[in-house]
Amino acid sequence: MANADLTKAYDSVKTDIANLLGWFECELDKQPANLNWAHVGSLSKIRTDLVETLSFMSGIEQDMIKDGLAEAWADAEIKKETQA
C-alpha cells in the first residue's frame, strides 16, 4: 500500500511539473507591448533559476549546463550562416 501511495505522489508531482513547463511555453510565446530592459532582467533571472533547478534535478554542474546553452547558440549561428 505504501508503495502505491509513493508512486501516486511521485506521478502527481511529475504531472504538475510537466504542466508547469507547458505553462512556461505559453508565457514565452507572449511579447510585452512595451518591451524594456526590465523584461530582459526578469527572463534572465528565470533562466538562472532554471539552470539551478536543472542542476539540482540532474546532478549536472551549472557550468556544464551553461556550456550546453552556449553550444546551442553556436550551433544555431552556424545553421543560420549555412542557410544564408
pLDDT digits (tens, 9 = 90+) for 45-80: 999 999 999 999 999 999 999 999 999 998 888 877
Domain spans in the chain, listed from the N-terminal domain onward: 1-30, 34-84
- Give the pLDDT confidence of 10-53 residue by residue, as tens digits: 999 999 999 999 999 999 999 999 999 999 999 999 999 999 99
Q: Which residue matches cell numbers 532554471? A: 50
